[in-house]
Amino acid sequence: MTDTAKQPTTQYDVIVVGGGMVGAALAALLGQAGVAVALLDARPAPLPADEVGIGLPAMRVSALTPVSQRLLEGLGAWSWMAARRVTPYRFMQVWDGEGSGEVRFSAEQAGVPLLGHIVENDVVLAALERRLDELPSVSVQLGTRVTGLHEGGEVVLEDGRRLAAPLVVAADGAGSPLREMAGIPVHTRDTGHVAVVTTVHNAREHGGVARQVFLASGPLAFLPLTVAGDARYCSIVWSTSPAEAARLTALSPAALGRELEAAFESRLGAVEVVDRALAVPLTQRHAERYVLPGFALVGDAAHSIHPLAGQGVNLGLMDVAVLAEELLAARRRGIALGEPRMLQRYARRRRGDNAAMLALMDGFRLLFGTRHPALTLLRNLGLSGVDRLTPVKRLLMQQAIGRRGTLPLACR
Ligand SMILES: Cc1cc2nc3c(=O)[nH]c(=O)nc-3n(C[C@H](O)[C@H](O)[C@H](O)COP(=O)(O)OP(=O)(O)OC[C@H]3O[C@@H](n4cnc5c(N)ncnc54)[C@H](O)[C@@H]3O)c2cc1C
């Protein structure tokens, strides 16, 4: 992904700091329209595309909504991803491990062919990197750490170089150094959870169902993965207390497999852990503002969310679609790309959706992270109630498939 044929310049329309899935998607959307973009990332090298999505699945995966799929199709990234490895799911099953409530959704009930796909993050990123290589107006600069931000859209690199553009976009992840350099405060909520992630091979096939059980300690998800036609793989996200996560990650694979099978009520039979188990701390963050003149936050730099609803990167991709739509409209009208009112419009269009999703995750966590008898009764009534109440269930399904509000053009 690092440019060799393309001539690097220090004069850009937009500098995107952070070439994760969100920053790479923004650079590709703008690059497709001929905007001169510098995409800077501290990681040293592109992903080895010929090794990605082959063999054992990578540990970090995302549930991508059909809306995110459409955005990636528009970017010309999806066909490579689909040829490499994506696993569609048509059903969702969520139940209360402490009670009797259970909700099931199907794509048919939601009136869509699929609820989404489970995709390794590396597959998404490698596809975007391939696409970026084809875009002459995008200069991808890896091994490039940004260490300073000055007013007037100037960024300072670790090696002392300076780059400038009318707009600097921070897509530099949940810890966002750029957000801090810009002095934007962030509301932080410790979820009390650490996610244990790994990959398993089950005795029974997943059947294209994304499953999640709410345990007293937190939610445990078995996300379906099909590997070379074998539909018995799942990616695990087990959100639990830090002490429990430390205990689980120290277990032998055989012992962890037994714990997973018991916690998951043997719904997919015996569980074999086929990768190491990694602990990822989970903190919910929401930046107090998304924009300043000539500066914008997107993706996890603006909001990081508990993974229990699998929404983080989907929200980030919607930020990107909306910001690109505003920027391209401004460019057509001859408005400067760092213009505050245009950036405010982006912030207004995205903040409400993101805040609503963060609040929903808080509610879920509080409701399910308790042993209080009244709340236990409420959540059992709630879950089975949700399964009967078609309009409420439909709303939840719409949320799951990412159909909220007005879609930006890139996702229609
Ligand atoms: C356990 C778990 C499960 C999840 N499951 C889902 C799911 O099912 N569905 C979903 O939608 N989301 C999910 N998410 C959330 C999703 O992973 C994130 O929302 C997404 O990865 C954020 O992408 P990003 O591009 O914004 O940030 P990142 O992927 O963090 O990328 C940031 C980039 O910025 C670069 N960078 C940082 N600082 C600098 C600097 N100073 N200079 C240059 N470069 C810099 C970094 O090198 C990095 O490449 C999950 C998250 C977790 C933890």
The finding on whether 46 has its CB within 6 A of some atom of ligand 1 is: no
Length of the chain: 412
Query: Which residues in 313-329 are b (16+ Cβ under 10 Å) and which e?
Result: bbbbbbbbbbbbbbbbe
**CB within 8 Å of 243: residues ≥ 6 apart:** none
The finding on whether 237 has its CB within 6 A of some atom of ligand 1 is: yes
Range in 113-117, 137-141, 315-319, 352-356 with the lowest mean pLDDT: 352-356
pLDDT at position 135 is 98
**For the chain, what percent of residues have pLDDT higher than 90?**
75
Could you tell me where the beta strands, DSSP code E, fall in 153-185?
A: 154-157, 162-164, 167-170
293, part of any domain: yes
Nearest CA to ligand 1 atom 38: 172
212, part of any domain: no
Average pLDDT of the chain?
90
Could you report the per-residue pLDDT of 270-310, keeping only the tens digit for each? 999 999 999 999 999 999 999 999 999 999 999 999 888 78
Could you tell me where the beta strands, DSSP code E, fall in 241-356?
A: 271-273, 278-287, 291-292, 295-297, 303-304
Give me the helices (H) in 65-120, please: 66-74, 78-84, 107-110
* Angular region, 143: left φ>0, alpha ψ -120 to 50, beta rest: left
Pocket test for ligand 1, best of 16, 43, 172, 223 (most atoms within 8 A of CB): 172
184, part of any domain: yes
74, part of any domain: yes
Number of domains in the chain: 1
The finding on whether 21 has its CB within 6 A of some atom of ligand 1 is: yes
For residue 94, the CA-to-ligand 1 centroid distance in Å is 25
CA 365 vs CA 7, 29, 96, 137, 139: distances in Å: 49, 35, 12, 44, 42
Nearest to 353 by CA among 289, 276, 309, 406: 406
As beta bridge partners, residue 200 has 234, 273
Per-residue confidence at 8, pLDDT binned at 50, 70, 90?
Answer: very low
Pocket test for ligand 1, best of 26, 62, 71 (most atoms within 8 A of CB): 62
Nearest to 284 by CA among 363, 182, 395: 363
CATH of the domain at 159: 3.50.50.60
223, part of any domain: no
**For the chain, what percent of residues have pLDDT higher than 70?**
88
For residue 368, give its domain range: 14-188+283-411
CB 154 within 8 A of CB 178: no
Nearest CA to ligand 1 atom 21: 313
The finding on whether 300 has its CB within 6 A of some atom of ligand 1 is: yes
Residue 224 phi/psi, 5-degree rounding, is -70, 135
pLDDT at position 1 is 43
Per-residue confidence at 9, pLDDT binned at 50, 70, 90?
Answer: very low
119, part of any domain: yes
Pocket test for ligand 1, best of 124, 249, 313, 323 (most atoms within 8 A of CB): 313
The finding on whether 42 has its CB within 6 A of some atom of ligand 1 is: yes
Rounded to an integer, the average pLDDT of 158-162 is: 93
Q: Tell me: pLDDT of 7 over 50.
A: no
Judged by DSSP in three states, 308 sits in helix
The finding on whether 132 has its CB within 6 A of some atom of ligand 1 is: no
Range in 4-13, 99-108, 147-156, 224-233 with the lowest mean pLDDT: 4-13
Nearest CA to ligand 1 atom 20: 313
Among the atoms of ligand 1, which is closest to the Cα of residue 40? 43
pLDDT at position 409 is 77
131, part of any domain: yes
pLDDT at position 90 is 96
Rounded to an integer, the average pLDDT of 181-186 is: 97
CA 250 vs CA 137, 221, 256: distances in Å: 47, 20, 9
Per-residue confidence at 388, pLDDT binned at 50, 70, 90?
Answer: low
Q: In what order do the strands lie in the sheet with 61-64?
A: 61-64, 116-120, 87-89
The finding on whether 120 has its CB within 6 A of some atom of ligand 1 is: no
Could you report the per-residue pLDDT of 39-56, keeping only the tens digit for each? 999 999 999 999 999 999
Which DSSP letter does residue 183 get?
T
Q: Tell me: pLDDT of 119 over 50.
A: yes
What whole-number distance in Å separates Cα of residue 407 and Cα of residue 412?
Answer: 6
As beta bridge partners, residue 212 has 94, 221
Pocket test for ligand 1, best of 17, 26, 41 (most atoms within 8 A of CB): 41
Q: Tell me: pLDDT of 5 over 50.
A: no
90, part of any domain: yes
CB 204 within 8 A of CB 319: no
